[in-house]
Amino acid sequence: MRLCPGGPVVRCVRVCCGRGRWRVCIPKCVRSTWAYTHLLARSLCYNTLTNWDTVNDTLFEPVFWTADRLTRLFGQVFVCLVVVLTSSIVLIAYMVLLPLVLHTYAPWWIVWHLCYGHWNLVMIAFHYYKATRTPPGHPPTTKSEVPFVSFCKKCVTPKPARTHHCGICNTCILKMDHHCPWLNNCVCVRQMYFSLSVCVCVAWLNNCVGHFNHRYFFSFCVFLTLGCVYCSISGRNLFIDAYSAIERFKALEAEPAGVPVKGVGLLIGIVPPEAVNGQSSFQTPPPTFTLKDKLLNKSIIYMWVLTSTVAVALGGLTLWHAMLISRGETSIERHLNKKERTRLAKRNRVYKNPFHYGCFNNWKLFLGVEKRSHWITRVLLPSGHAPYGDGLTWDFYPHRKEPLPV
């Protein structure tokens, strides 16, 4: 064995000849660093079931962590924003639109607006209150006989069917659909008693949309969309008039003032008698509108723009959830079922959703309709009835094709 001539970089690597072959001897510190880096790289592919989704989730874990913490932090802000915006629309409707309706509309049209408007308002307030106050439902943390299909690595507890972990709430949710920051809640399935204060409930809750409050969330979206469409359609003519009035106000304010008249005497019909000092000026007469007129017209424009925008955005979200309900899926299950269908299609097999009972039966199960009168008492009127099932066990399609023969 001999050292290779050269500088310190060359001398740190010893070339050894043993048993008929050359071998490069690398310092221990370099080998340790390389082994640790190689172990980290291999940890991204720890078994044969790992795919690029697992690798991407691992790489973007800091991004997901930051998004979860920000959503949890701003959840109360989003809830307060919903309350403030909704309250502002209600205030404008009572202070601006209602007097106009009472003075300009026919009596039967007034009755229609009063009845429909207050019914819609009650349904919006009730379902939003229940959606924020109702916990979504959680799997048992103690030992039980409930069957489970997987194991949560973060909660270290068994997960029943349709249960998923919410990173924002940091717990498992029964039949989780998504975490809604506007509810500061996860959408799920459980019923609780009413609280004494709406302000406290909407400001300090933080859970998901799942099995026990999914119906409240969807009903809130439906009735809020209907209310926005109602305000947008009924206030269209008022919006056009208000916008024209604002444009007239801007035109009047843009008119230049009168040209000063100086150095003239007392001219009858030209200079007013008060101008005895030889100086006067003619100004444009004061505007015919007041600050109250501007505020009323701007409030009508604000209401129409806000309700029209929310109607389009929330209407699309409501249609998306209606499609999922018709298929017996949640937002998470939509993604999982799509991947499962793709996987089985490569094997020439067809995937069937075990929780799909048919479009009409899915709606009856979701809304809790057990007889015909429930379409009125439980759908068109405020109702706090519990959803179908306990969210832990589910009837499967091959065993029950007609869950509710209504």
The pTM of this model reads 0.71
The 10 Å CB-count burial string (b at 16+, else e) for 342-367 is eeeeeeeeeeeeebebeeebbbbbbb
| Contact between 139 and 163 (Cβ < 8 Å) | yes
Nearest CA to 183 out of 307, 320, 76 is that of 76
**Beta carbons within 8 Å of 179's beta carbon, 6+ residues apart:** 71, 166, 168, 169, 185, 186, 187, 208, 209
Tell me, yes or no, if 208 is annotated catalytic.
Answer: no
- Which 3 state secondary structure label does DSSP give 16? strand
Nearest CA to 283 out of 259, 249, 254, 255 is that of 259
Interval 379-397 mean pLDDT? 84
Q: What is the pLDDT of residues 117-165, one digit of tens each?
A: 999 999 999 999 998 888 888 888 887 788 888 888 888 888 888 999 8
Q: What is the pLDDT of residues 348-377, one digit of tens each?
A: 999 999 889 889 999 999 999 999 999 999
Q: What is the pLDDT of residues 245-300, one digit of tens each?
A: 888 888 877 766 555 555 444 444 444 555 445 444 445 555 567 788 888 899 99
Which of these is catalytic: 180, 208, 221, 231? 180
| Contact between 376 and 368 (Cβ < 8 Å) | no
Distance of CA 40 to the CA centre of its chain: 37
Q: What is the pLDDT of residues 32-90, one digit of tens each?
A: 889 888 888 777 666 666 667 777 777 887 887 787 777 777 777 777 888 889 899 99
